[in-house]
Amino acid sequence: MPLDVMTLATQVRDMTKLAVDGSAERLVRRRKIQQLIDRHVGHEVHWNDAVILSERSVWLQATVVDAFDTIHDVPPIPPEYALVAADGSQLDVERHGMAICYLINIGRVFLRYGHTPMARLSAHPMLGFRDHELYINDGMRRIPVEGQLLNAKRDAAEGHALVGLVDEFIDHTVPSIALQDGTLVRWNLANSEDAVREELLTPYLEALSALQARRIPVASYISRPRSPEMMGMIRLMLCPDVDVSARKGAVCDKCSDVAAGRQPSCHVADDFADADVYADRLKDGQRGPLHVSLARANRDYYGEHEIHFFYMRVADEIARIEIPKWVATDNELLHRVHAIIYDQAMRGQGYPVALARAHEQAVVKASDRRVFLEMVEQSLIKNEAPALNSRKRSSKEFQAL
């Protein structure tokens, strides 16, 4: 049955009206947040302590390394520089397919600018079909590598692709960086079994260590970020229950506002992301203060690679840049990341060229998927291997005819 466009159009109009009606109210709340931040400049240690004391709050949180009003202009762009980038895509395990397997495709890019410009683009497919590739054994059971766990496996493959590109192309005669798309924090592994983290997080951290040993700063670029980690700290500034001197943090399920029948004081921050905080504070190319993510995976497992982040204005967008601690604490590497990523984004009309090219190499199109499935089917038939589609998939394919 086709999409009911008439019914949908009514809902779209309702959504538009809600957005328009709420825009003025959001502007007032955003100004309050900006004024709140300005009042607390110089009290960063106090609010970092409040964050640590409020681990039981339901909000994502981060601490701040610099002053709240820190602004850095974009450093001089190196006349010559090089970078490597990796991005990946995947075809997940298909229960209704003819064979139990997955496909990871890693796009690999090397770019060099200056007197001897160079570009190398490639893709590397990896088929997972062996038992140790499809499952993680924790001693009690076999855990399927699919969904979020397959995402984590792809992330590790991207990290090792960066190391391979550095060893193949970077000669260290010009400033260089390694770049990934998306977050460096493996949020989905925080509550995983030890065997899962050992299998999927350890290889990624090893890749970061390899880049550290080669002194190639690694960073990730997040376009249009919606993370509210800085907003978590701002909620504490609004909270009537926080008293750092008494070692008392916020406990959201015991909010005194709610207990008194009032709207929580932190509602001012509702629906805002960190990017909203910096939208009015940064000019093109500028970055704000460094923060440290308090994601459990980052805090408990990353060690010397503990992920820091900052926000940077790129034209009309606020981007989030994530870096390991060893980059954040080295001004030369930090300035290099800031300058090169900004230049890449300007060359790419608002998004880093290297990442755009890596994505193009990595993406598995619908036509590629069909070729892959036909290749699997023909190989199984040719070798007289048992291969049957499930009834569900056969039914879908029949209906598509």
DSSP state of 267: G
* Whether residue 392 has pLDDT greater than 50: no
pLDDT digit string, tens, across residues 1-51: 578 888 888 899 888 888 787 788 989 999 999 999 999 999 999 999 999
- The answer to whether residues 290 and 161 belong to one domain is yes
Same domain, 86 and 120: yes
Number of domains in the chain: 3
Q: Radius of gyration over alpha carbons of the chain, in Å?
A: 24
pLDDT at position 361: 97
For 25, 52, 61, 65, 225, the CA distances from 270, given in Å and listed in that order, are 12, 21, 14, 24, 16
In this structure, are 131 and 205 located in the same domain? yes
pTM listed for this prediction: 0.90
Domain of residue 54 covers: 32-69+231-269
Asked, for residue 21, whether it belongs to a domain, the answer is no
Report how far apart, in Å, the C-alpha atoms of 378 and of each of 82, 99, 319, 373, 397 are.
Answer: 43, 11, 45, 9, 17
pLDDT of residue 395: 46
pLDDT in tens, 159-213: 999 999 999 999 999 999 999 999 999 988 888 889 999 999 999 999 999 999 9
Tokens, residue 78: 């190196």
Same domain? For 173 and 318 the reply is yes
- pLDDT of 367 reads 83
- Other CB atoms closer than 10 Å to residue 271's CB: what's the count? 11
What is the identity of the amino acid at 282?
Answer: L
Cα distance between residue 164 and residue 124, in whole Å: 12
Residue 398 binned pLDDT confidence (cut-offs 50, 70, 90): very low
Domain co-membership, 142 together with 281: yes
CA dist 392 → 133, 395, 396 (Å): 26, 5, 6
- 258-300, pLDDT tens digit by residue? 999 999 999 999 999 999 999 989 999 999 999 999 988 999 9
Mean pLDDT within 233-243: 94
Q: Is 139 left (phi over 0), alpha (psi -120 to 50) or beta?
A: left
User: Is 383 inside a domain boundary?
Assistant: yes
Kindly report, residue by residue over 318-364, the tens digit of the pLDDT. 999 999 999 999 999 999 999 999 999 999 999 999 999 999 999 99
Q: What is the pLDDT of residue 1?
A: 59
Task: Tell me which residue has tokens 């990730």.
Answer: 220
CATH number for position 110: 3.30.420
Is the pLDDT score of 389 beyond 70? no
Look at 113-117, 253-257, 394-398 and tell me which has the smallest mean pLDDT: 394-398
Phi, psi of 376 (to 5 degrees): -60, -45
Are 174 and 111 members of one domain? yes
Per DSSP, the three-state class of 225 is: coil
* List of residues 6+ apart from 77 with CB closer than 8 A: 339, 340, 342, 343
The pLDDT > 90 percentage for the chain reads 73
- Whether residue 4 lies inside any domain: the answer is no
Residue pointed to by tokens 């070798």: 383
Number of other residues whose CB lies within 10 A of the CB of residue 281: 18
Each residue's pLDDT tens digit, 258-267: 999 999 999 9
Q: Output phi, psi for 236, to 5 deg.
A: -70, -35
Q: How far is the C-alpha of 160 from the C-alpha of 207, rounded, in Å? A: 5
Contacts of 348 (CB under 8 A, 6+ apart): 355, 356
